Amino acid sequence: MHPVLVELGKLRVYSYGLMLALSFFIGILLASRRAERRGIEKEILFDLCIILVIASVIGSRGLYIITHRDHYHSLLDIVALWQGGATYYGGLVLAIICAVVFVRRKRIPFFRVADICAPSIALGVFLTRVGCFLSGCCFGRPTECVLGLVFPNHSPAGYTFSDTHIHPTQLYSSFYGLVIFGLLMVLDRWNRFDGFTFSLLCILYGIARFIVDFFRFYESTSMVGDFITVSQVTSLALVLAGVLLLVVLPRLPGNKPGRADM
């Protein structure tokens, strides 16, 4: 585990912050390339991406703080994003809300933009979860499985489970992010209506997150009852939403087939 990748005097490059920044940079480049092929101006997409970056950071950090209140005692703890600690769904929800407002003002189809950004979102999961692993946050439960790892005691994972093998759920999440990204890029070739690729993202991510959460450690504030987490409830809702979109969107008047893309 390497929470700090580079340290030059007082200058520190944190692994989570670097992977988060990298995910935004690569995601925006990918989305801009896809936007041009779908009739959306690159400048409009860049403006939207800036809004989405801010919204996703605020939303994901805010929800994480709410569900891990005991870990934060000062304003510095709250703004120290480079040290890790974010809940994906918080960022996703706030980003979608901001995106809806933005595209309505620009009078462009929301689900076309959502299709453009969907692979970038999955790629972002892949990259940022690597950052989580290096920082030692978002860790799993104790296990005797061969995949179990022991984290250093100075990390959040090691502090919680000292000298104990735990599931590296960060890597599990990173892996399914990469798989979903690949599937979306392939299946997007058969896109037949605006919202197709985004619907698949909702379904695939919801299923993957629901499964991995059985192996991830959560505090009591993140639980609904004794057996299911808030994120799992949200995952089920996301899967249902994705299925409904696949059924409803093709039937909407004027929702023309999406353009083929790479």
The predicted-structure confidence for 29-40, as pLDDT tens digits, reads as follows 999 999 988 889
- Measuring CA to CA, which residue among 113, 172, 114, 165 is closest to residue 142? 165
pLDDT of 258 higher than 70: no
The predicted-structure confidence for 74-128, as pLDDT tens digits, reads as follows 666 666 665 666 777 888 889 999 999 999 999 999 999 999 999 999 999 999 9
Q: How many CA atoms lie within 13 A of 2 on its CB side?
A: 9
Q: Is the pTM here over 0.75, yes or no?
A: yes
Cβ burial of 104 (10 Å; 0-12, 13-18, 19+) is exposed
At residue 261, the pLDDT reads 42
Cα distance from N-terminal residue to C-terminal residue, the chain: 35
The predicted-structure confidence for 122-166, as pLDDT tens digits, reads as follows 999 999 999 999 999 899 999 999 999 999 998 989 999 999 999
The predicted-structure confidence for 7-63, as pLDDT tens digits, reads as follows 877 778 889 889 989 999 999 999 999 998 888 998 999 999 999 999 998 888 888
Can you give the three-state secondary structure of the chain, one letter per residue?
Answer: CCCEEEEECCEEEEHHHHHHHHHHHHHHHHHHHHHHCCCCCHHHHHHHHHHHHHHHHHHHHHHHHHHCHHHCCCHHHHHCHHHCCCCHHHHHHHHHHHHHHHHHHHCCCHHHHHHHHHHHHHHHHHHHHHHHHHHCCCCECECCCCCCECCCCCCHHHHHCCCCCECCHHHHHHHHHHHHHHHHHHHHHHCCCCCHHHHHHHHHHHHHHHHHCCCECCCHHHEECCCEEHHHHHHHHHHHHHHHHHHHHHHCCCCCCCCCCC
At residue 262, the pLDDT reads 39
Integer angstrom CA distances of residue 29 from 20, 107, 120, 150, 154: 15, 23, 9, 36, 36
At residue 62, the pLDDT reads 82
The predicted-structure confidence for 185-244, as pLDDT tens digits, reads as follows 999 998 889 999 999 999 999 999 999 999 999 888 788 877 899 899 999 999 999 999
Identify any residues that bridge with 11 across adjacent strands, giving them in sequence order.
Answer: 8
At residue 191, the pLDDT reads 85
Kindly indicate the confidence band of residue 260, based on its pLDDT and cuts at 50, 70 and 90: very low
Residue 122 near residue 184 (C-beta atoms within 8 A) = yes
The token pair that represents 138 in the structure block: 């978002």
The token pair that represents 196 in the structure block: 């197709």
